[in-house]
Copies of this chain bind each other. A is one copy, B any other.
Amino acid sequence: MSLPPTEPQLLPLLGGPPPERRDAARNRVRLLDAAQELVERCGPRAVTMDAVAAAAGVGKGTVFRRFHSREGLMAAVLDHSETEWQAAVLSGPPPLGPGADAWERLLAFGRSRLESTLLHAELIREAGHSGARAGGAHAFAATHVRYLLTELGVTGDLPILATALLAPLELPILDQQVTIEGFPVERVYDGWVDLARRIIGRP
């Protein structure tokens, strides 16, 4: 046994994890494309991991190495739409994007988020706990709402208040109201606006 001929990494090379090998990257996009295509053709519920692997022309093990689990894969598919939505909030046209006053933006945010959540309901459910929603997406939304609340002059524990305002727009709660109790979406939205008014402390 001898010392390795060279240090595999002379400098810490600060920054993140090592880059991805070319075949790995190629397979990741193949898998994501296949998954997206299958999801929108059969619905997320009916998509099996074997099917995705086969459609992408790779082995099953590869699917699980790229995306930890089925939930992870679904989360990745969901991430596509989520990212577009974030772009619309950050730099799209008003009133959702910048350019309108904070109250208008908050209203647009609520409606947009409500519709988006209902639109992707199945996928969100399938993405479950490891959903982009549970990680980055919620953080994004919370940050944005906190910013808007600040603009509106709200004082208090903003992270908590933002969460309280976001909570009724999360799928489990929306599902309860819309799917199970059968409330019309308009009513739920109006209720949310009312909640926002009370939190802000305005007529």
For residue A198, CB closer than 8 A to chain B, the reply is yes
Tell me the number of copies of this protein.
2
The answer to whether the Cβ of A115 comes within 8 Å of any Cβ in the partner chain is no
Q: Which of A18-26, A41-49, A90-98, A157-165 contacts B (4 or more CB under 8 A)?
A: A157-165
Closest B residue to A138 by beta carbon equals B176
> Number of A residues contacting the other chain (C-beta, 8 Å)?
31
Q: Do A168 and B164 touch (CB < 8 A)?
A: yes
- By beta carbon, the residue of chain B nearest A158 is B191
- Chain A interface SS verdict (over half): helix
CB distance from A76 to the nearest CB of B (A): 19
Query: Is A151 an interface position by the 8 A CB rule?
Result: no
- Given A164-B168, A198-B199: A190 in contact with B157 (beta carbons within 8 A): yes
Q: Does A88 contact B (CB under 8 A)?
A: no
* Nearest B residue (CB) for A201: B198
Tell me, in angstroms, the Cα distance from A178 to B36 when the chains sit together: 33
- Expressed in whole angstroms, the minimum distance between the Cβ of A52 and any Cβ of chain B is 23
Q: Knowing A168-B167, A170-B167 touch, does A194 contact B161 (C-beta < 8 A)? A: yes
> Which B residue's beta carbon lies closest to that of A125?
B129
**Residues of B contacting A163 in the complex (Cβ-Cβ under 8 angstroms):** 168, 173, 176-177, 191
Over the window 133-168 of chain A, the binary record of Cβ atoms lying under 8 Å from chain B Cβ atoms (1 yes, 0 no) is 010001000000000000000001101110110011
Question: A9-17, A106-114, A180-188: which lies at the B interface?
Answer: A180-188
Q: Is the CB of B183 within 8 A of A173?
A: no
Q: Is the CB of A160 within 8 A of B198?
A: no
In the complex, whether A57 has a CB less than 8 A from a CB of chain B is no
Instruction: State A180–B139 Cα separation when bound (angstroms).
Output: 11
- A163-B191, A164-B164, A170-B173 given; name 7 further pairs at CB < 8 Å: A160-B183, A160-B195, A163-B177, A164-B192, A164-B195, A167-B168, A172-B172
